[in-house]
Chains A and B, each alone.
Chain A
Amino acid sequence: MRAADALVKALEMEGVEVVFGIPGGAILEVYDAIYDSGIQHITTRHEQGATHAADGYARASGKVGVAFATSGPGATNTVTGIATAYMDSSPIVVFTGQVPTSMIGNDAFQEADITGITMPVTKHNYLVTEAGDMLKTIKEAFHIAATGRPGPVLVDLPKDVTLADVEFNYPKKVSLPGYKPKLDGHPRQIKRAAELIMESERPVILAGGGVIISNASKELTELAETIPAFVATTLMGKGAIPETHPLSLGFVGMHGSKYANYAVQESDVLIAVGCRFSDRTTGNLERFAPDAKIIHIDVDPAEIGKNVGVDVPIVGDARKVLARLKKHIQYKQRKLWEDRINKWRREHPLKYSRDGFKPQYVVERACEIMPDAIVTTEVGQNQMWAAQFFKVRYPRQFITSGGLGTMGFGFPAAMGAQVAFPDRTVIDIAGDGSFFMNIQELATCVKYEIPVKVLVLNNGYLGMVRQWQELFYKERYSATCIGCEKTGFEAIARGFGAVGMTIESPGEVDDALKEAREIDAPVVIDFRVDYQANVFPMVPPGAALNEIIDIE
């Protein structure tokens, strides 16, 4: 059988239902093979769009996302998507075409050393030089992408390899002597953690993206209720506990609420689960949670002690460890702490000025009107407003580029999420600047009838950068005015064959959102919001989590 056909058959055996990609010379065999397979192929308009879509699909569904690209420029176009998935531990497998093995290293037409280029941003990658190794490699690629701490895996396939004749025997098992993720958590450490929690008076759980990835929300919520402990999440952890839950503090960090930041800062035990203590979450590390004993649960041992010194390290899968930990805990009321947090919540709610047409209002209304929608975001103020004002109710509902902070991620990711869940409402909360970075995927949405809704919070600026210039660069607005008030997103949408709307005042917001929700087609709504709106509260870079700038 032709290796390309064997590849497609292997994908079927891995349960792959959809692939995002763009063909080209070096990967033509594979495209020829997929032509009459049961796998759907969605041709995106840019390979970056394909990798983000595969990533969005993976984050929404929990399955492995798959993307194809040709050699050279096709492959290099996937790099941002791969790096984005890497930083947020999202399982995707990217297959790239490569020039024939005899030409590798000769600077052949459309040759790029993509395994070299992606080495630092993949969990693992492969250049298949023998057709006989291909199936084993595919098996390993899917296994590595999805297990332990998930991540992107790239498989580079030279043209002669995909053309060669192979026997189809797809391995059932992988043999990777050095790769054995530890999942169970050490019983003695779990006990120690339980003791610390039982002794504590001010426990706080800090839940990261790892909780979502390991499907540990139920276990996390149960543990929180058992202790009881308030739960702050990182940006990636949004949805780890329903944000409508009385113990939820929402997200913490640079633009987290004051009460979440205070709670983490003043905790005496911090139970960090599946989070990597990014600087956006911790603020100044030296003054981070100064009184807290830190329990850190993570499947990746290298995360433990990387940024923050840890008192009780537990290497293991969040779901397993949390379930075990709960067994050692008895409910103990901590009235003073509870009152203190509730007082902070009353005194420092998230708020914004109601003058004019504020972007926060759009997010708030979207949350009210489409509470169960899958939400993706772009990067910048839009992302932070979405994080602050969209109350996430279930895991995998909120999809955002937390680690790399990739503008242009949200829209193709929404496309991928919508492909995974055709019957749900999927919205991308976007900034005008970010939307431009993969706007071409509107054509893909129209062609494949993927009814994503893009809510463009159009402030005509690279807003988040503008905010930093306002606060830290004496209002010298260098290169951030992109003038999207002159851009007709409504007409652009129509030009692509999608539905477009322009909304200029708060009074029109509800109707527009309701209308969009009912339209079974991609919709772009251009919300002409106030350009001066800023994201507050804010912990300035380098400050401690409780040193917060806020509006009066």
Chain B
Amino acid sequence: MKHTIAVLVENKPGVLARAASLFRRRGFNIESLTVGTTEREDISRMTIVVEGDNRVVEQVIKQLNKLIETIKVSEISEGSVERELCLIRVHAPPEKRGEIVELTNIFRARIVDVSRDSFIIEVTGDGDKITAFIDLMRQYGIKELARTGKVAMVRGNKR
């Protein structure tokens, strides 16, 4: 099962390496990991998606808590808003452009760059939506693709 874990850490050099090293050393499988600063620039937030049973996740959380720079670890798998961003460069010959634009609109994605024979499309959403969109784009020929991995936040005032 997949679990999403949010980690607030002090924004210091080496923190990411420490967290990553901990995962590697204990053999935890990271599915995705995103990092960025928060509303405070001395604090960063990592969103980590791990695959594993409850025992694994419990250990992951406890081990992350052990890092000296860790301020707070929470599992936010339930009741959270989860988003991922993906950029896709898709082959777009003139005769297909209409179709691609239409699909892009249906998915509330955006074309952010146009060149002679390709588009770059930006799509955000949960993982399933992005995967579905990517699958649709495959028929036109995907030339390049970049996914950010997930960021997440709990709904409402619950923090």
Q: Which residues of A have CB within 8 Å of B63?
A: 302
Q: Which residues of B have CB within 8 Å of A306?
A: 59, 62
Min CB distance A211 to B, Å, is 21
Residues of A within 8 A of B (CB): 115-116, 119-120, 123-124, 127, 144, 176-179, 300-302, 305-306
Q: Which residues of B have CB within 8 Å of A124?
A: 68
Min CB distance B97 to A, Å, is 47
Whole-angstrom distance between the alpha carbons of A302 and B21 in the complex? Answer: 17
B65 to A144, Cβ gap below 8 A? no
B25 to A178, Cβ gap below 8 A? no
B23-63: CB near A (< 8 Å → 1, else 0) gives 00100000000000000000000000000000100110011
Main secondary structure of the interface of B (DSSP, over half): helix
- Quick one: which of B89-140 are within 8 Å of A by CB? none
- Check if B155 is an interface residue, CB within 8 A of chain A: no
B61-78: CB near A (< 8 Å → 1, else 0) gives 011011111111000000
Whole-angstrom distance between the alpha carbons of A115 and B15 in the complex? Answer: 12
- Check if B10 is an interface residue, CB within 8 A of chain A: yes
Min CB distance A130 to B, Å, is 11
Whole-angstrom distance between the alpha carbons of A369 and B19 in the complex? Answer: 51
Number of interface residues of B (CB under 8 A): 22
Whole-angstrom distance between the alpha carbons of A120 and B19 in the complex? Answer: 10
- Give 7 pairs: A residue, B residue, CB < 8 Å, sorted on A: A119-B14, A127-B13, A178-B9, A302-B59, A305-B55, A305-B59, A306-B59
Min CB distance B12 to A, Å, is 10
Whole-angstrom distance between the alpha carbons of A179 and B17 in the complex? Answer: 18
Min CB distance B111 to A, Å, is 41
Q: Known A-B contacts: A119-B21, A178-B9, A305-B59. Give 5 more (CB < 8 A).
A: A120-B25, A127-B14, A178-B10, A178-B72, A302-B62
Whole-angstrom distance between the alpha carbons of A176 and B58 in the complex? Answer: 23
Q: Which residues of B have CB within 8 Å of A144?
A: 68
Min CB distance A547 to B, Å, is 26
One of A120, A177, A302, A305 near B66 (C-beta < 8 A): A302
Of A115, A123, A302, A306, chain B has the most CB atoms within 10 Å of the CB of A302
- Check if B18 is an interface residue, CB within 8 A of chain A: yes
Of B17, B21, B65, B68, chain A has the most CB atoms within 10 Å of the CB of B68
Residues of B within 8 A of A (CB): 9-10, 13-14, 17-18, 21-22, 25, 55, 58-59, 62-63, 65-72
A119 to B10, Cβ gap below 8 A? no
Q: A116-B17, A120-B25, A177-B10 are in contact. Are A301 and B68 (CB under 8 A)?
A: no
Of A116, A177, A178, chain B has the most CB atoms within 10 Å of the CB of A178
Of B22, B59, B62, B72, chain A has the most CB atoms within 10 Å of the CB of B62
One of A115, A127, A178, A301 near B69 (C-beta < 8 A): A178
Whole-angstrom distance between the alpha carbons of A480 and B14 in the complex? Answer: 42
Min CB distance B98 to A, Å, is 51
B65 to A177, Cβ gap below 8 A? no
Q: A177-B10, A305-B55 are in contact. Are A300 and B17 (CB under 8 A)?
A: no
Q: Which residues of A have CB within 8 Å of B17?
A: 116, 119
Q: Which residues of B have CB within 8 Å of A300?
A: 66
Min CB distance A433 to B, Å, is 29
Closest to B7 in A: A178
Whole-angstrom distance between the alpha carbons of A177 and B71 in the complex? Answer: 6
Whole-angstrom distance between the alpha carbons of A302 and B70 in the complex? Answer: 14
Min CB distance A149 to B, Å, is 9
Q: A302-B62, A302-B63, A305-B58 are in contact. Are A179 and B21 (CB under 8 A)?
A: no
A178 to B14, Cβ gap below 8 A? no
Q: A116-B17, A119-B17, A119-B18 are in contact. Are A178 and B59 (CB under 8 A)?
A: no
One of A116, A119, A301, A305 near B65 (C-beta < 8 A): A301
Closest to B17 in A: A119
Whole-angstrom distance between the alpha carbons of A120 and B24 in the complex? Answer: 10
A302 to B65, Cβ gap below 8 A? yes
Whole-angstrom distance between the alpha carbons of A113 and B71 in the complex? Answer: 26
Min CB distance B63 to A, Å, is 6
Q: Which residues of A have CB within 8 Å of B65?
A: 301-302
Whole-angstrom distance between the alpha carbons of A144 and B67 in the complex? Answer: 11
Whole-angstrom distance between the alpha carbons of A177 and B40 in the complex? Answer: 14
Q: Which residues of A have CB within 8 Å of B55?
A: 305
B67 to A178, Cβ gap below 8 A? yes
Q: Which residues of B have CB within 8 Å of A176?
A: 68
Whole-angstrom distance between the alpha carbons of A547 and B70 in the complex? Answer: 43
Whole-angstrom distance between the alpha carbons of A474 and B96 in the complex? Answer: 72
A178 to B21, Cβ gap below 8 A? no
B14 to A115, Cβ gap below 8 A? yes
Min CB distance A514 to B, Å, is 48
Whole-angstrom distance between the alpha carbons of A374 and B25 in the complex? Answer: 35
Whole-angstrom distance between the alpha carbons of A320 and B103 in the complex? Answer: 64
Q: Which residues of B have CB within 8 Å of A302?
A: 59, 62-63, 65-66
Min CB distance A141 to B, Å, is 10
Whole-angstrom distance between the alpha carbons of A104 and B78 in the complex? Answer: 44
